[in-house]
């Protein structure tokens, strides 16, 4: 029995040590990534950023006709530092990992930061951990959770998908060519999840949102295809209004975007669970958007 207890104690000590080491390794990767952003060092950024994220960032930038790689570092504020934040846990699932922190997450935009949750995501490339993304969870409406996390109670994290590593490494998207015409997809979908795909390349997911995202690869001259699917979210009434639109963006300052596609339903109208549509971009319109 004594041997069993000693072995068990050693086992759990090793597990605890492994988690601590993982947390330290992940924090080092994030610190290097953050430094590369602050110092605008593209070479270092490449070395610590996950492969799929590198392609995603490049695709988005060139789809907005912004300079690459310079636009990587054009942020309104530097990424938050981990200094002063309380490390909560590091969790690994296969080649994915998450590290959670609690405290005054400071994005440098003014005001007095409050205690909130920051979750950093990583993937393993076979040799080392690479930084993927950050999820910020505002706990203003959850004062009890704030108290729990401050005391070291991590129960809340078990029910937060953003805090649990999935074990699935995101696929690396196809690298697109620079956009000829900038396009954006806009979705208003209270109570619903809407997925939109443009030209089978640009994929978008909106949940209970009112947002716009750049179309990866932009709009192409000629026929463009739009596909969408709609799912009611738990707790929704299913009668909310909804809008899906595609806009072509003018490169002339002050000019309004051109709406080229719309699927819209009023409140209490029936929503199609999926559908396909098209829009056509002619050469004259493309030239006009470029100011030619």
Tell me, what's the pLDDT at 177? 96
pLDDT of the chain along its 292 residues, tens only?
444 343 433 333 333 445 569 999 999 999 999 999 999 999 999 999 999 999 999 999 999 999 999 999 999 888 999 999 999 999 999 999 999 999 999 988 778 899 999 999 999 999 999 999 999 999 999 999 999 999 999 999 998 888 999 999 999 999 999 999 999 999 999 999 999 999 999 999 999 999 999 999 999 999 999 999 999 999 899 999 999 999 999 999 999 999 999 999 999 999 999 999 999 999 999 999 998 7
SS (H, E, C) 137-161: ECCCCCHHHHHHHHCCCCHHHHCCH
pLDDT at 46: 98
Helices (H), ranges, 40-142: 42-48, 51-63
**What is d(CA 46, CA 33) in angstroms, rounded to the nearest whole number?**
9
CA distance 282 to 278: 13
Strand order in the sheet with 242-248: 210-214, 183-188, 242-248, 258-265
Structure tokens at 171: 């696929």
Separation between Cα atoms, residue 289 and residue 45, nearest integer Å: 33
- What is the structure's pLDDT at 161? 87
Q: Which of 158, 75, 150, 68 is nearest to 115 (CA)?
A: 150
Residue 14: its pLDDT value, please?
Answer: 35
Rounded Cα gap, residues 261 and 289, in angstroms: 16
Residue-range domains of the chain with CATH: 2-163 (3.10.450), 183-289 (no CATH)
Helix (H) or strand (E) holding 123: strand 115-124
SS3 252: coil
Cβ neighbours for 48, distance < 8 A, ≥ 6 positions apart? 29, 32, 33, 36, 130, 131
CA–CA dist 261, 224 (Å, integer): 10
Report whether 266 contacts 290 (CB < 8 A).
no
CA distance linking residue 279 with residue 6, whole number of Å: 70
Residue 230 β-bridge partners: 194
* pTM over the 0.75 mark: yes
Q: d(Cα 275, Cα 228) in Å, to the nearest integer?
A: 6
pLDDT value of residue 226: 98
């Amino acid at each position: 029995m004594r041997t069993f207890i000693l072995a068990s104690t050693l086992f759990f000590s090793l597990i605890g040590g492994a988690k601590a080491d993982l947390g330290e390794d992940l924090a080092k990767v994030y610190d290097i990534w953050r430094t590369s952003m602050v110092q605008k060092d593209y070479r270092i950024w490449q070395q610590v950023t996950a492969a799929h994220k590198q392609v995603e960032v490049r695709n988005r930038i060139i789809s907005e006709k912004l300079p690459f790689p310079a636009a990587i570092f054009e942020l309104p504020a530097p990424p938050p530092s981990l200094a002063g934040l309380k490390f909560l846990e590091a969790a690994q699932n296969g080649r994915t990992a998450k590290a959670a922190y609690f405290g005054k997450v400071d994005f440098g935009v003014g005001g007095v930061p409050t205690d909130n949750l920051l979750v950093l995501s990583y993937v393993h490339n076979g040799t080392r951990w690479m930084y993927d993304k950050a999820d910020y969870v505002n706990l203003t409406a959850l004062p009890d959770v704030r108290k729990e996390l401050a005391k070291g109670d991590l129960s809340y994290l078990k029910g937060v998908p953003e805090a649990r590593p999935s074990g699935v490494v995101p696929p690396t998207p196809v690298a697109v060519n620079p956009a000829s015409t900038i396009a954006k997809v806009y979705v208003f979908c209270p109570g619903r999840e809407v997925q939109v795909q443009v030209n089978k390349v640009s994929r978008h997911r909106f949940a209970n949102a009112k947002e716009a995202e750049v179309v990866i690869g932009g709009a192409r001259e000629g026929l463009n295809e739009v596909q969408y699917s709609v799912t009611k979210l738990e707790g929704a009434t299913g009668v909310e209004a909804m809008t899906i639109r595609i806009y072509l963006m003018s490169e002339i300052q002050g000019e309004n975007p051109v709406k080229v596609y719309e699927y819209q339903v009023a409140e209490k109208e029936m929503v199609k669970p999926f559908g396909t549509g098209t829009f056509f971009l002619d050469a004259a319109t493309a030239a006009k958007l470029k100011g030619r």
